[in-house]
Amino acid sequence: MAHRIFAGFLLLLTLDSFAREPIKSPPAIQTKIVRARDLGIPFEGTPGKLNSITDVPGVEVGYTTLISGEGKLEVGKGPVRTGVTAILPRGHASLNDPVYAGFFSLNGNGEMTGTPWVEESGFLEGPIVITNTHSVGVARDAVIAWLVKQGTGSQSLWSLPVVAETWDGWLNDINGFHVKQEDVWHALDTAHGGAIEEGSVGGGTGMICYEFKGGNGTASRKIDIRASKDAPPRSFVVGVFLQANFGRRPQLMIAGIPVGKEIPGEVYKKEAGSCIAVVATDAPLLPHQLKRLARRVSLGLARTLDWPFPGLGRHADVVRTKGRAGEYFSVTGPIVRSRSEICALSSVMS
């Protein structure tokens, strides 16, 4: 399971005395956050206000970050470098309100629960949770328990939540099973809109990307679309959230420049890792159109020179957060192009 890649949608470590015990969020770091555009890297498109998945109206993101121990691995004790990410497509206020969704798997060596029902119904009901490979089961059960606790249904409530994973066993005591129900609940309870943290937080805490420290990245683009030739343009947002855990260093390409080849060093000897992509939009698209977008996640990752080797996993899931059921577009080209771009951008922003 260690040597694989996985992608999906519907998604600074400082060590001192506080790192001895699990923490629910990373320590305050008095450092200015610098993103790719701040460095003058010429990415295309117009980002949303925050250049984040939370630029899509209604989307909320929450984390639980677990960091403890250091030194040699001792199964059951640590070091612990893992966590949970929760994404609520329409926020806490609309837990009973399903969203249209699409799902795509390019390389299936990975897990994303609940996707058969997404494929069958075209709906996502409830949050999306991302964690490490060996914590999918506890996270799935915890999501169901949390939904029951929220009173989102009667005693006959059934739930098939979407929980995805990437493998953090290089840096984390993954077989120590450190993610618990309360950690999943904390991520769900604290999910919020607005600015969100990136990098080594939540489910991305123990991840590696292109043999650098990986984690979570996010981006957004504003798009103007005409429903017909003579119609006035309408503005929408598409946002992407990645849990990035893939790639060899020489493969890394940023804005068409093979950066990785100029930076020597390696972490592992063979292809390894995985990636979960969570994409959201407020454009009025139907499930089959969202599935079209899901397929394009892989094109975005390929722009960073990542590709799916045999035995590695890639999954994508896309959701629409608002819009009337009878309102949709037949042309998704501008959204597809923007999404490929921001998937590429998000994968290297961690």
Q: Tens digit of pLDDT for each residue in 241-256?
A: 999 888 888 888 888 8
Check residue 35 and give its pLDDT: 82
* Domains recognised in the chain with CATH numbers: 17-347 (3.60.70.12)
Residue type, 161: P
For 189-204, the pLDDT digits (tens) are 999 999 999 999 999 9
Report the distance separating Cα 349 and Cα 239, nearest Å. Answer: 14
Least reliable range by pLDDT among 127-131, 132-136, 210-214? 210-214
For 54-87, the pLDDT digits (tens) are 999 999 999 999 999 999 999 999 999 999 999 9
C-beta separation of 313 from 110 below 8 A: yes
Least reliable range by pLDDT among 29-43, 71-85, 285-299? 29-43
Report the distance separating Cα 121 and Cα 115, nearest Å. Answer: 10
Report the distance separating Cα 87 and Cα 188, nearest Å. Answer: 8
Tell me the angle at which helices 333-347 and 287-295 cross, rounded to the nearest 10 degrees.
40
pLDDT, the chain, mean = 80
Q: Find the farthest-apart pair of alpha carbons in the chain and give their distance in angstroms, rounded.
A: 66
Residue 12: is its pLDDT beyond 60? no
**Residue 262 C-beta-side C-alpha neighbours within 13 Å:** 5
pLDDT band at 9 (very low <50, low <70, confident <90, very high): very low
Residue type, 274: S
Using the structure block, give the residue that is written with the tokens 């260690």.
Answer: 2
Report the distance separating Cα 236 and Cα 225, nearest Å. Answer: 8
Most confident of 60-74, 278-292, 321-335: 60-74
Closest CA to 299 of 239, 342, 330: 342
Say which residue, 301 or 140, is predicted with more confidence: 140
Residue type, 314: R
Report the distance separating Cα 50 and Cα 1, nearest Å. Answer: 35
